[in-house]
Amino acid sequence: MATKVFMEALSPTMEEGRVTSWLKHEGDPVTAGDVLAEVETDKAIMELQARGNGVLRKIFAPDGATADVGSLIAVIADPDEDISSFQPTGAAGGGAGAAPPAAAAEAPLAAPPEAEPAPPPQAKAAGDGRTKSSPLARRLAQERGINLATLTGSGPGGRIVKRDVEAARPAPAAPVAMPGAVGYEDVELTQVRKTIAKRLVQSIGPIPHFFLTREIDMERVWDARQSLNSLDQEARISFNDIIVKVVAEALRQHRACNAWWQDDHIRYFNEVHIGMAVAIDDGLITPVIRNAHVKSLRDIAAETRELAARARERKLAPEEYTGSTFSISNLGMFDIDEFTAVINPPEAGILAVGGITAKPVVEDGEISVRRRMRVTMSCDHRVIDGATGARFLQTVARMLENPLAIVW
């Protein structure tokens, strides 16, 4: 029986996708689970998988073509099945026209003699509804609260293996459970808050922003970072890593700023997931450091590096750039002294971080030269009031000025 291949929604916000390249070509046998094509979404390049077995008979959206989510882009069917009734349904444009079937796929590498044989194309590999996974992958998934059914296996026959689980992040709806703590708390809106919300929205757009700016002395952080990095050349901790760590710790102490506006209620999070704005060639993406409040500086540094690298290659999975509870945008490396950032809804706050500059400072009546950094927090006034945000920033500043306070 024929299987229609649709342009699928491969990110939460995707409305259309561009086929960057077909990995299977017309005439190729395909098995459910095989990767058919790479599709560029609004956020990343994703893999489009076959959902049926047979031969890839017809491609409607050639390499380079853009198609609406839900539109028919190809047909998988038996070799001699009549597929003339299938017609492309959605907009499909661009590209260089349907590519002729590739002459020959690259010869597969010979498996070692002792290796398990690959399932024959006609076998119901992943099509039998069973999720195949390695014993280790099952254990890791259970430990991390990841539903294997939501993962795509990269092993033989679609087997989910360790690396697939490690690449996955728990979905926002099911965050990693903290011992003895619920992931968040929903608080009903009071009438006062409803009124404030309504009026402020009327006043300045859908999200009523206000901004808090302060300057922070960075001398001690400067020294602390230097000595940490001299301990381990590989660790390479950046100022940004330290800011992520400090903000996460401050948010843990100021849950009021670690929240989502949910229209009819506010969701306060017990866990801190920091969105870290990363510039990519044609825009911006915000990979998420999950549970940053329980991670060590070294882990945050390593994870940030790894996520940023893949973000620039546009290889992030959707669950890796969604679900943050607060965001940080740092333009210090562009010599920006101070700026305001736009809130990433439904989050209630974002911290804009400027560069560190040496400047004269009056201290106890004396002028001295100190390294200083200016930060500006954008707040959603429906959730955060001025004093609430100011107290939060105070904590951030105090920790940066006394780095040991992170472990206090």
Place of tokens 């509804």: 129
Residue 125: strand, helix, or coil? coil
The tokens for 181 are 């703590």
Question: Which of 322, 329, 321, 308 lies closest to 244, judged by CA?
Answer: 329
Binding mask 148-187 for other proteins (x = CB under 8 A): ------xxx----xxx------------------------
Q: Is 309 in the site for other proteins (CB under 8 A)?
A: no
Cα separation, 147 vs 166, in Å, equals 12
Which entry of 254, 273, 293, 381 is annotated as an active-site residue? 381
Q: Is 134 in the site for other proteins (CB under 8 A)?
A: yes
One residue of 104, 107, 115, 231 binding other proteins per CB under 8 A: 115
One residue of 80, 82, 106, 116 binding other proteins per CB under 8 A: 116
Of the pair 154, 270, the CB lying nearest other proteins is at 154
DSSP string, 265-290: EEEEESS--EEE-EEETTEEE--EET
Binding mask 82-111 for other proteins (x = CB under 8 A): -----------------------------x
Residues 6+ positions from 314 with CB-CB distance below 8 Å? 40, 43, 44, 45, 280
Q: Is 180 left (phi over 0), alpha (psi -120 to 50) or beta?
A: left
Q: How far is the CB of 229 from other proteins (least distance, A)?
A: 24
Q: Contact at 8 Å (CB) between 253 and 166?
A: no
Interstrand relation of 265-269 and 184-188 (parallel, antiparallel or unpaired)? antiparallel
- The interface region with other proteins, picked from 96-104, 136-144, 259-267, 360-368 by CB under 8 A, is 136-144
CA 174 to chain centre: 15
Of the pair 83, 309, the CB lying nearest other proteins is at 309
Q: How far is the CB of 108 from other proteins (least distance, A)?
A: 13
DSSP code of 365?
T
DSSP strand E in 323-365: where? 326-330, 349-363
Q: How far is the CB of 119 from other proteins (least distance, A)?
A: 14
Q: Contact at 8 Å (CB) between 16 and 7?
A: yes
Note if 254 is an active site residue.
no
Which backbone phi and psi does 41 adopt, to 5 degrees? -100, -170
Of the pair 138, 220, the CB lying nearest other proteins is at 138
Q: Is 50 in the site for other proteins (CB under 8 A)?
A: no
Q: Is 282 in the site for other proteins (CB under 8 A)?
A: no
- Binding footprint of other proteins, residue count (CB under 8 A): 18
Q: Is 130 in the site for other proteins (CB under 8 A)?
A: no
Q: Contact at 8 Å (CB) between 240 and 258?
A: no
Q: How far is the CB of 139 from other proteins (least distance, A)?
A: 4
Cα separation, 122 vs 58, in Å, equals 19
- The interface region with other proteins, picked from 134-142, 264-272, 343-351, 384-392 by CB under 8 A, is 134-142
Of the pair 47, 385, the CB lying nearest other proteins is at 47
Of the pair 35, 361, the CB lying nearest other proteins is at 35
Q: Contact at 8 Å (CB) between 21 and 46?
A: no
Which residues, listed in sequence order, are joined to residue 217 by a DSSP beta bridge? 372
Q: Is 112 in the site for other proteins (CB under 8 A)?
A: yes
With b meaning 16 or more CB within 10 Å and e meaning fewer, what string describes 305-343?
eebbebbeebebbbbbbbbbbbbbbbbbeeeeeeeebeb
Q: How far is the CB of 31 from other proteins (least distance, A)?
A: 17
Q: Is 127 in the site for other proteins (CB under 8 A)?
A: no
Question: Which of 291, 300, 287, 244 lies closest to 270, judged by CA?
Answer: 291
Binding mask 3-42 for other proteins (x = CB under 8 A): ----------------------------------------
Q: How far is the CB of 179 from other proteins (least distance, A)?
A: 22
Of the pair 115, 404, the CB lying nearest other proteins is at 115
Q: How far is the CB of 166 from other proteins (least distance, A)?
A: 10
Cα separation, 258 vs 348, in Å, equals 7
Cα separation, 142 vs 176, in Å, equals 11
Write out 228-241 in H/E/C secondary structure.
Answer: HHHHCCCCCCCHHH
Q: Is 117 in the site for other proteins (CB under 8 A)?
A: no
Q: How far is the CB of 118 from other proteins (least distance, A)?
A: 11
Q: Is 212 in the site for other proteins (CB under 8 A)?
A: no
Q: Is 114 in the site for other proteins (CB under 8 A)?
A: yes
List contacts with other proteins (CB under 8 A): 111-116, 134-139, 154-156, 161-163
- Give the catalytic positions in this structure: 381
